[in-house]
Amino acid sequence: MASIGHFAKILALSAALAATGAGAAAAGTLDTVRQDKTIRLAVRADAPPFSYRDVGGEPAGFMVDLCRAVATGLAAQLNLDQLKVVFVPVTAEDRFDAIETGKADLLCEPTSATLSRREKVDFSIPTFVDGASLLVKGEGPSDLAALAGKKVGVLGGTTTEKGLRDTLATLKINAEVVPAATHEDGIKQLEDGAVAAYFADRAILAWLASKASDPSKLRLANDYLSIEPYALALPRGDSDFRLAVDRALSHIYNGGGIALVFAKTFGPQMQPSETIKTLYLVSALPD
């Protein structure tokens, strides 16, 4: 009888542990957001026009405004009268750590969705598509082949830097890659002649050039040298939260809200390309 009693205790303990584990698994990001009535958005200060600080020091940019709209959609799904938004500052180096460690719920910056990154985080449906290009001074080199023997700047610690190094190696172009701490530092190096070109996503380059000390001296290359699909990074394995975010994004795309977000960031001087329009059309999921 003693052995039966001991076995019964083991079964009871196993059941209790299983119940505890199930409860922990159920208490995902969406439950925490509902309970705290707060969502934490990770934002950058150095990735304009997608995620940066405006003149008043407040988070701004396309991805920041899109995440604000997503937060409004999540509040509606959770039947919350109000959902508090808390901004969590991150850098290019620690942005994914903020999601992995639970410091932030959603990464709101120009995040390229890649398979290797999906080993650590999950991604929403696509939010933007861009491609890397070159920004040069005047008649500077406007293609990679012309960079042979020259220095080219790029934001350090990004997929753009890796893509640049891989492409130069594949094409056997002997150019020196100079990582920059921020895009602003990279543009200053270009203006000062420390690098012959600066390599980044095209929308970012267009924005940076418009804010330069003398935009007329800078020229954007015509060609896309890579394609970068953007998405919002979120906790890996949290399917309920990802579904809620995708639902919010789909409503924004289908309801025309994305046009307002786009216009606020880029203004009338930049219209969405046919590629971007198609992206929103095919990415939006029906209820």
Q: Quick check: helix, strand or coil at residue 27?
A: coil
pLDDT on residue 269: 60
pLDDT on residue 31: 97
pLDDT on residue 142: 77
pLDDT on residue 204: 86
- Torsions phi, psi for 14 (to 5 deg): -65, -40
pLDDT on residue 171: 92
- Torsions phi, psi for 236 (to 5 deg): -70, 135
pLDDT on residue 2: 47
3-state DSSP of 210-255: HCCCCHHHEEECCCCCCCEEEEEEEECCCHHHHHHHHHHHHHHHHC
CA-based nearest residue to 128, from 203, 56, 40, 221? 203
Please list, residue by residue across 188-207, b when 16 or more beta carbons sit within 10 angstroms of its beta carbon and e when fewer do: bbbbeeebbbbbbbbbbbbb
Q: E strands of the chain, at which residues?
A: 38-43, 46-47, 51-53, 59-60, 84-89, 106-108, 121-130, 132-137, 151-155, 176-180, 197-201, 218-220, 228-235
Q: Quick check: helix, strand or coil at residue 100?
A: helix
Helices (runs of H) and strands (runs of E) counted in the chain: 10, 13
pLDDT on residue 272: 83
Structure tokens at 102: 């639970």
pTM of the predicted protein model: 0.76
pLDDT on residue 42: 99
Q: pLDDT under 50 in the chain at which residues? A: 1-4, 6-26
| C-beta separation of 110 from 53 below 8 A | no
Residue at token pair 């995620």:
51
pLDDT on residue 208: 85
Give the chain's domains with CATH numbers: 29-130+229-283 (3.40.190.10), 132-220 (3.40.190.10)
Structure tokens at 224: 């896309």
pLDDT on residue 16: 45
| C-beta separation of 95 from 42 below 8 A | yes
CA-based nearest residue to 228, from 256, 252, 187, 199? 199
